[in-house]
Amino acid sequence: MEELLKLEQVSFSYEEDRPALENVTLALHRGERLAVLGENGAGKSTFFLCCNGVLTPRQGRVLLHGQPVGRGRADLARLRQAVGLVFQDPDAQIVAGTVESEVSFGPMNLGLDDGQARPLVEEALGQMRLQDFRSRAPQYLSGGEKKRVSIADILAMKPEVILFDEPTSSLDPSSVALLEQTLDELAGKDLSLVVSTHDIDFAWRWARRVVVFTKGRIAADGAPEAVFADRALLQSAGLRRPLLYEAASQLALKNSRLAGRPLPRSIQDWPAYIG
């Protein structure tokens, strides 16, 4: 898989003696579905801000398509266009008075004129099914709708990597289902999707690679089956096993017929697993 973004030995600290990220090395590839797990304060959001260039690493470097990214305006614009960041709180992200103008914020900041920005905005609104909301003010939207606007914000910039900072937090179940559907659609577009979440079941269902952060360091990086098999790691990171994973594993212990079968990712996979 083509490597899009790489952080090499990156360290960052908000306070002198408390590193928020320490020697983090991680590469993101095209078509990847990566879940970032960890307790509050483990360094997930700081990692995202470093990936997007909002924070400058104290040590280490960020590479985009194998090229180091400098701190100049052009380099940062190139990085921020390629690596979109959907913030946890849409209210912190949404700045404009209507959905349409909000989605145009990124493309216009890239120096595009109205004529160039409009098709990008239309496409992003269409992808997020927001065409009927274009003239609505953000303050009158529901939490799920605001989240869709904040994703459309990023899609309009045509990124190659999208970082989602706890996208399922404070969403109702139907909005979470819609978000998962959106993530699946985006994964089909050959983007690299990175989701930080506390929802272990969602991570198990959706991700094909899992990274666990503890105290600013990467404690694990691998396939979900391998990461969730390590009980000691999960305990030290304050995590638990996904419900389906745990149930299927317990069942496999009692029924040798199930041993070796791929564990079910979703409830829809369950009949095939036990069948």
Partner 1 sequence: MAFTVVLAAFVGFCLLYGRLPAAAAAVLCCALAAALGLLGRHSHDGAGSIDALAQHSRLCRWNPGLKCALCLGLMVICLLPSSPWMGAATALGCLALTVWGGGVPLHDYLRLMALPAVFLLLGALALLFEYSQAPGVLNLPLAGGYLCVTRAAQDRALLVLFRALGAVSCLYLLSLSTPMHELIGVLRRTRCPGVVITLMYLIYRYIFILLAMYRTMRDAAASRLGYARRRAALRTTGQVFGSLMARSYRQANRCFDAMESRCFDGSVRFLQAARPLTAGQTAAAAALTAAAGALALALR
Buried b (16+ CB within 10 A) or exposed e, 159-176: bbbbbbbbbbeebeeebb
Could you tell me the smallest distance in angstroms from the CB atom of residue 41 to partner 1?
Answer: 15
**With contact defined as beta carbons under 8 Å apart, do 241 and 181 qualify?**
no
What x-and-dash track marks residues 5-44 binding partner 1 by CB under 8 A?
----------------------------------------
Our finding on whether 232 is near partner 1 (CB under 8 A) is no
Rule CB under 8 A: which of 148-177 touch partner 1? Answer: 153-154, 157
**Is residue 95 packed enough to be buried (19+ CB in 10 Å), middle (13-18) or exposed (0-12)?**
exposed
Which stretch in 14-22, 27-35, 47-55, 62-70 sits in contact with partner 1 by CB under 8 A? 47-55
Our finding on whether 57 is near partner 1 (CB under 8 A) is no
Among 4, 21, 104, 195, binds partner 1 (CB under 8 A): 104
Q: Determine the Cα–Cα distance for residues 98 and 137; give it in Å rounded to an integer.
A: 4
Rank residues 79 and 219 by Cβ distance to partner 1 and give the closer one. 79
**With contact defined as beta carbons under 8 Å apart, do 23 and 9 qualify?**
yes
Q: Is 61 helix (H, G, I), strand (E, B) or coil?
A: strand
Rank residues 104 and 168 by Cβ distance to partner 1 and give the closer one. 104
**With contact defined as beta carbons under 8 Å apart, do 101 and 135 qualify?**
no
Which stretch in 2-10, 73-81, 220-228, 241-249 sits in contact with partner 1 by CB under 8 A? 73-81
Alpha-carbon distances of 197 from 70, 89, 146, rounded to whole Å: 29, 13, 18
Which residues 6+ apart lie within 8 Å of 218 measured at CB? 24, 25, 26, 211, 212
Paired strand residues for 21: 12
Our finding on whether 126 is near partner 1 (CB under 8 A) is no
Our finding on whether 267 is near partner 1 (CB under 8 A) is no
Rank residues 92 and 259 by Cβ distance to partner 1 and give the closer one. 92
The site for partner 1 (CB under 8 A) is made up of 49, 52-54, 73, 76-77, 80-81, 84-85, 87, 89, 91-98, 100-102, 104-106, 108-110, 114, 117-118, 121, 134-140, 153-154, 157
